[in-house]
Amino acid sequence: MKYDQIMIRFGELSTKGKNRKGFITKLKRSVKYATREFKGLEVQSTRDRMYIILNDVDYKPVSEKLVKVFGIQSFSPVMIVEKDIDAIKDAALQYVKGLSREIATFKVTTKRADKNFPMDTNEINHAVGGHVLWHNQENGLKVNVKNPDLNLIVEIRKEAVYLTGEVIQGAGGMPLHSNGKATLMLSGGIDSPVAGFQAMKRGLEIECIHFYSPPFTSERSKQKVIDLAEVLAETAGHMLVHIVPFTEIQKVIQQQIPENYSMTTTRRLMLQVADRITKKREALAIITGESLGQVASQTLHSMYAINEVTNTPIIRPLITMDKNEIISMAQEIGTLEISNRPFEDCCTVFTPVNPKTMPRRDKVNQYESHIDFEELIERAVEQTEEVLIRRKRKVNQHVEEDLF
Ligand code: ATP
Ligand code: MG
């Protein structure tokens, strides 16, 4: 089957009123970026559809890239047909004959966006369906409206008539960078990269923040986080990682905060440092990989005590998800294997034996009131190192870097 174009349906996007134009521009950018290795493609958009003009490029490898693009509800490889019922009938018949798979049943579904077309939906369904049936009498092809092997879609639009028998599900969500910027607290664990991915799916631009505590945590554990960020960069185009030295703060906490509250204070300090970086980077939210009740720091009481230190919205995409759901998502996005590498986390190294699962705000505030954290927080922010990860791709044996 030779297709002329790929037709892209936006789904949720189409209802976004005034912002729609900006959304479409961003989606177009994502589509162009995702398919940039195929030379000769052209991307065009109208109010409610986007089209990739294939110019003889095979649609299959292109569609493998498109299924990963956020903001696409579904898409179809389409044939362009003249706006004339006989031409549509002929094209439909050619389509059925050219199928590489056996079909026993089919139906025709017409969408008539162009109301000037002289026939209505039913008339077109009957005319096209009848024509296909008539020429397939010898092989017993039948119509099945409920569950056909082939749903032949005829879309009559102002600019042309599109014919397809295939609808491919897209990744859904919203186009990258269409919903503002947030920072992602990225540990080396399983959860936070998944949380970052979910946030990107909703159109957020993200920058990562990672806390590390040398010499208690090694270069290897830092590398692990960079590797995770690299996987995220494959979707985002690039990724900025802020690496925060956290040893000094952790040592002070260990020495001066009662052991059962050290975890709560550690998290509160992390959040304060993350908050400063978030503001510096003009981001408006902090994303974490927390899931309710998973560990002591993620009970509702803990979150209540930890969250006190900031007014910045904290987004927790995984909050209601079970661990095995998160694990299978990590597998799907390709971060699980990296997350499973053994490593020392700056939190696990200092984790007390019995962290409080029901810490109290008044108590933690009282313990912290004896320490001047301000200077320590400022120093951690100042000494934060930035690593920019660019998506890498192999082009004729050598690795090329490019930015979204
Ligand atoms: P993860 O698998 O993401 O590490 P976890 O189940 O191990 O999560 P915690 O270690 O309690 O849970 O961390 C909760 C969240 O706090 C993490 O998802 C992450 O967003 C953030 N976080 C924890 N440790 C770090 C770190 N070293 N650097 C940056 N963020 C961190
Ligand atoms: Mg962790």
Task: Using alpha carbons, select from 163, 161, 49 the residue that is nearest to residue 116.
Answer: 161
Residue 316 confidence (pLDDT): 97
Contact 194, 323 (CB under 8 A): no
Final residue before a domain boundary, out of 116, 141, 169? 169
Together in a domain, 35 and 71: yes
Residue 47 confidence (pLDDT): 84
Final residue before a domain boundary, out of 145, 169, 193? 169
Together in a domain, 164 and 288: no
**173 vs 72: CA distance, rounded Å:** 7
Final residue before a domain boundary, out of 135, 169, 203? 169
List Cβ neighbours of 174 (8 Å cut-off, separation of 6 or more). 12, 13, 23, 70, 71, 201, 202, 203
**Would you say the pTM of this structure is higher than 0.85?**
yes
What is the DSSP secondary structure assignment for residue 136, as one 8-state letter? T
Q: CATH number, domain at 13?
A: 3.30.2130.30
Tell me which residue range forms the domain holding 70. Answer: 5-169
Residue 397 confidence (pLDDT): 52
Pocket of ligand 1 (CB under 6 A): 185-187, 189-192, 209-211, 288-290, 294-295, 297-298, 345-347
Together in a domain, 157 and 225: no
**28 vs 45: CA distance, rounded Å:** 8
Together in a domain, 252 and 320: yes
Residue 349 confidence (pLDDT): 61
Q: Which ligand is nearest to the CA of 190?
A: 1
Together in a domain, 155 and 266: no
Q: CATH number, domain at 259?
A: 3.40.50.620
Together in a domain, 129 and 236: no
For atom 6 of ligand 1, which residue has the closest CA?
191
Report CA(113)–ligand 2 centroid distance (Å): 51
Closest ligand 1 atom to Cα of 291:
6
Together in a domain, 206 and 315: yes
Structure tokens at 78: 């389409």
Number of domains in the chain: 2
Outline where 135-218 has alpha helix (H).
191-201
Report CA(296)–ligand 2 centroid distance (Å): 12
Contact 348, 341 (CB under 8 A): no
List Cβ neighbours of 250 (8 Å cut-off, separation of 6 or more). 213, 216, 266, 346, 349, 350
**53 vs 145: CA distance, rounded Å:** 31
What is the DSSP secondary structure assignment for residue 299, as one 8-state letter? S
Task: Tell me whether residue 364 is in a domain.
Answer: yes
For 139, list phi and psi in degrees, rounded to 5: -100, 10
**156 vs 108: CA distance, rounded Å:** 13
Report CA(345)–ligand 2 centroid distance (Å): 7
**67 vs 174: CA distance, rounded Å:** 13
Structure tokens at 306: 């930890």
Report CA(148)–ligand 1 centroid distance (Å): 48
Block mean pLDDT (10 aa), the chain, length 404: 92 68 91 93 92 96 95 96 96 93 95 94 96 92 95 94 96 92 96 97 96 90 95 92 97 95 95 98 98 84 96 97 97 96 70 82 96 97 96 55 55
Together in a domain, 326 and 290: yes
Contact 8, 65 (CB under 8 A): no
For atom 31 of ligand 1, which residue has the closest CA?
187
* CB under 5 Å of ion ligand 2: residues: 187, 189
